[in-house]
Chains A and B, each alone.
Chain A
């Protein structure tokens, strides 16, 4: 009887040790986000702002290719394996000359896509003056199934601190509209130069 008890204890001990080693392979993924910028949220067409700057997204286009006209040669056509999302916005500073930065597209799945990075697509000027609305155009390249529910995040180019501000704009692509645009994007979007 005692032998059986010892055997059971030994099995239990080894089992617990193995379980402890298995548990050790799990690492908590905890982020208190204390250093994340303060986020103001809004939606397409509305002014979203904070003390530093304000953003108004006026137009969103979805296309499977982008055409860049060339005055002297044939236009450059850039095709995507996914889709291009072109966002037109107006931005103004609220205090002093302001540089936008950390621009990204947040998808519903939590992924973050930076601007397309295509060499042929010019970056929009990123300095804005107080009380003057200036235009901005951002081009993103994403897989088709990442379009629904995507949001545009704009922050500051300055070094971040605990009181940095960001705006997070719902691009109105949730549900049926996002699904429709992802399934039937425009064949091509022509860049204005």
Chain B
């Protein structure tokens, strides 16, 4: 009897192992270094660099104190998304628990030095995200929260789509050193 019970236990353990075992699933945001690729679900994001200081984004702009972060973004979905949709899934964490959205107007997409407003499937775009710093001194490092995009069916229609909100869970936090100065 004892042997039979032990045998059953062994088989149960084997079955549990086949179906993924008792290992806990990773929870919460993963801390990532700049340069490694983060999978947000819809987008693959690689944080490239950050710089801060008083600068003009274009020749007609006033001189402003800004934080600029560049990311290489690849759309892995099957539809074109706007740069502004991508911005919804990114925030800067100025202090623990405080998330700041990037500036919609000043942030832009860029392919080979030319401005673009769209991220097409499987065509990588460099997105420059801008945060106005006001009178604050520029931080030495910037922490960026990349949220998880969710794929699901609409409540009122039968269409499937990707979405992200400010309540979406944070997939990864990327810390990137901030260089001082306006030139890239």
> Of all chain A residues, which has the CB nearest B4?
A3
Q: Contact: B115 with A143, CB < 8 Å? A: no
Q: Contact: B121 with A78, CB < 8 Å? A: no
Q: Contact: A112 with B79, CB < 8 Å? A: yes
Closest-CB distance, A73 to chain B (whole angstroms): 14
Residues of B within 8 A of A146 (CB): 122
Contact of B121 among A10, A35, A111 (CB under 8 A): A111
Interface residues on A, range: 35 or more
Q: Contact: A14 with B78, CB < 8 Å? A: no
Residues of A within 8 A of B19 (CB): 18, 21-22
Whole-angstrom CA separation of A30 from B158 in the bound complex: 8
Q: Contact: B124 with A118, CB < 8 Å? A: no
A69 beta carbon closer than 8 Å to chain B = no
Closest-CB distance, B83 to chain A (whole angstroms): 8
Which positions 125-163 of chain A face chain B at CB distance < 8 Å? 141-143, 146
A183 beta carbon closer than 8 Å to chain B = no
Tell me the dominant secondary structure on chain A's binding face: mixed
Q: Contact: B123 with A143, CB < 8 Å? A: yes
Given A14-B15, A31-B158, A110-B78, check contact A119 B121 (CB 8 Å). Answer: no
Closest-CB distance, B117 to chain A (whole angstroms): 4
Interface residues on B, range: 20 to 34
Closest-CB distance, B45 to chain A (whole angstroms): 17
Residues of B within 8 A of A32 (CB): 158
Q: Contact: B118 with A117, CB < 8 Å? A: yes
> Of all chain B residues, which has the CB nearest A115?
B118
Given A118-B116, A120-B115, check contact A34 B158 (CB 8 Å). Answer: yes
Q: Which of B4, B8, B80, B82 has the most CB of A within 10 A?
A: B80
Q: Contact: B120 with A114, CB < 8 Å? A: yes
Which positions 38-88 of chain A face chain B at CB distance < 8 Å? 76, 78-82
Given A3-B1, A113-B80, check contact A143 B114 (CB 8 Å). Answer: no
Closest-CB distance, A134 to chain B (whole angstroms): 25
Residues of B within 8 A of A118 (CB): 111, 114-116
Q: Contact: A117 with B116, CB < 8 Å? A: yes
Q: Contact: A141 with B15, CB < 8 Å? A: no
What 1/0 mask marks residues of chain B from 77 to 115 whose CB sits below 8 Å from any chain A CB? 011101000000000000000000000000001011011
Known: A114-B80, A117-B116. 9 other contacts (CB 8 A): A11-B8, A18-B18, A21-B19, A29-B160, A33-B158, A35-B158, A80-B112, A119-B114, A119-B116
A residues adjacent to B (C-beta < 8 A): 3-4, 7, 10-11, 14-15, 18, 21-22, 29-35, 76, 78-82, 104, 109-120, 141-143, 146
Cβ-closest 6 pairs across A and B: A117-B118, A114-B80, A119-B115, A117-B117, A111-B78, A18-B19
